Structure 1
Amino acid sequence: MIELKLGEAHLGLLPGLGGSLAFWRLRGRDLLVPTADPNLAAQKNTPVAGYPLVPFSNRIGDGKFSFEGVDYTLAKNFSAESNAIHGNGWEREWQVAQHDSERAILFLDHNPAKGDDPAQWPFAYRAVLSFVLHRDGLSVEMLIANRDTRAQPVGMGFHPFFARSDDMTMQFAASSVWENGPDMLPIGQIACEGTWNFATARTIGETRLDNCFAGWGGKTVLGYQSAGYEVTIEADPVFQHLVVFTAPEKPFVAVEAVSNMNNGLNHPDLLENGVHVLAPGANISGVIRYKLRELRG
């Protein structure tokens, strides 16, 4: 484990376990909840507080997609479903490029031509993660570079497990949301109205979500009134979608700033699917910023 410390801020990183977060503590609070998911076998049932989503976010239906006239089949890496999920970055060991007390830079090279499993991803890429600890927050910078000789479609995001409380509120602006079918893949896009509208802060309570929101404004605020603080998530425009998972029986809420919509690789017909086609040597990058604000002065 790599540990970063700055004042009352403390971050634990697990490069060998998918570039994951072990914990994030600030002013005596555990802002994230380390969570083990036995369906994610590569995490070896180890609790993690967050992990990168590269080279795509969320699901690819039945692990299959087509790109530039070629059909591809990915390994189904989530035992509860028949879909490929969350890319392969969380399944791999990341290398440490550098780190000090406040910053760590990790990278992952995936290259099927050099023996990496093409069923994880058929194209060569490099991903870079930069974690910067602040006295009142955390910045996560992500980059994906195409190191193949062919163009490839990519997406990215980050999957943190925020601590849940009985009076926790959530606020963000989005234009639409994707409803899911039984296979948890999007089947229809509807306006964010009624129970889908979080433009005004709402108590999460018994809300149950596992959905991708589009037209996200790039900012989400999680409020913890009884604990006296709130966490703001702000993301660069490349992260144009927001995936939210919450269930009353879980001790966390996952609020994921991501680039591509769920199953976006199978929706090339949608101009705003968030999938980026990278030419050889090209890259995309962006920063997600998490900031704590005290509500009691």
Structure 2
Amino acid sequence: MFAIKEKKQNNFSLVELKNTANNSYASISLNEGARLQSLNFKGISIIEEQPNFDYKDCYSSAILFPFANRIEEGKYSYKNTKYQFKSNEPKSKNALHGLVFNKEFKILEKEITSNSCAVTIYYSERNECKSFPFKYSIYLTYTLLENELQLKVTVKNNDTKSFPFVLGWHPYFNCNNFKNSYLSFKSDKKISFDKNLITKDIINHKTASKFKLENKQLDDCFVLEDNIVQFFTSKYQLEISSTSEENFLQLYTPKNKPVIAIEPMTGISNSFNNKIGLQELDANKTYALTWTLKLL
């Protein structure tokens, strides 16, 4: 039986999608950019809060818009005009992870059927912002099914002029045993970074079909040949897919934490300047993609 519940927890507004028939649920924090705070499939914890790992520092499950990853020193030009994002990365002057990760989203609609439940939430930017002076709305539809969670992201340009954008997602997945865990994805190109993790180049790099995680400290980005990434652990196996035409994969392992960030993105670090994966959305137009987490 599928159900949707709203609740308050530690002064945060949460909405929870549940399947009581198989002990699955997804919890979304409306005050924190509508991030996926927790995910459980059939009693197995896939995503959960980590102690001493604050959201303001780790961006766990943040929606990344209008850019993903970093913009070098927060500077970019669009249509012959220069703009400056606020630097929010302590170790550099870079701008990090976009503008909506800390916004408050509102519930637009709920839907419950015999085989799923879904909630659509949204944020609309109507104030003038010097760093990104465009009006937009972003809609997120989380749908919980028997063995999967879908996240549809729709961006609408409410302005009279076009704007540049990239979309990304920053979920951390539980991994209690890195020695026996691995990823599987198709890629023969990798991003080369400078010391501040700003893109230098795309280099040839053939990735093994079984990408082992043991003894790896990751902060790496790959160009995907298709839209599927599989994650194998001792407790669960998961497939992450996207409907996007261009797909990039950022992997990050924080020190001494039993999690790994597996981040699907439509662009890469410094995309507003290097244009890799960068798209433009015309006035009054929309763009949509869906990311799916499927239990294998």
CA 1:37/1:180 → structure 2, altered by over 3 Å: closer, same or farther? farther
Query: Aligned residue pairs: how many?
Result: 274
Match of 1:190, SS state, is strand
Deviates more, 1:134-143 or 1:93-102: 93-102
Partner of 2:210: 201
Q: 1:254 aligns with which of 249, 261, 269?
A: 261
Q: Which residue of 1 aligns with 2:292?
A: 289
Distance 1:22 1:219, change over 3 A: same
What does residue 104 of structure 2 align with?
93
Amino acid across the alignment from 1:206: N
List, as ranges, runs of 4+ consecutive aligned residues in structure 1 with deviation greater than 2 Å.
33-38, 77-81, 246-250
Is 1:20 the counterpart of 2:31 in the alignment? no
Task: Identify unmatched segments of 5+ residues in structure 2.
Answer: 1-13
| TM-score of the superposed pair, with normalisation by structure 1 | 0.86
Query: Please, which of 25, 44, 54 is the counterpart of residue 29 of structure 1?
Result: 44
Once the two structures are superposed, residues 40-95 of structure 1 have per-residue CA deviations (whole angstroms, 9 ceiling, x without a partner) of xxx557x8751211111111110010011000001112334311111111021111
- 1:265, CA displacement in angstroms? 0.7
Contact 1:21-1:48 within 8 A present in 2 as well = no
Q: Secondary structure at the match of 1:65?
A: strand
Q: Which of 188, 192, 197 is the equivalent residue of 1:179?
A: 192
User: 1:53-72 alignment to 2 at 5 Å?
Assistant: 53-72=64-83
User: Could you give the per-residue CA deviations for residues 227-277 of structure 1, whole angstroms, max 9, x where no partner exists?
Assistant: 2x3101111134521111125533211111111121111113xxxx11111
Name the TM-score, length of structure 2 as normaliser: 0.86
Q: Describe the SS at the equivalent of 2:241.
A: strand
Q: Relative to 1, partners in 2 of residues 1:82 and 1:67: Cα closer, same or farther, differing over 3 Å?
A: same
> Does the CA contact (< 8 Å) of 1:22 and 1:48 recur in 2?
no
Deviations 1:167-211 (A, max 9, x none): 111110013111111111111211123xxx14x123201112212
Q: Which residue of 1 is the match for residue 221 of structure 2?
A: 212
Structure 1 gaps, min length 5:
none
Tell me: CA distance 1:284–1:85, structure 2 relative to 1, closer, same or farther (3 Å).
Answer: same
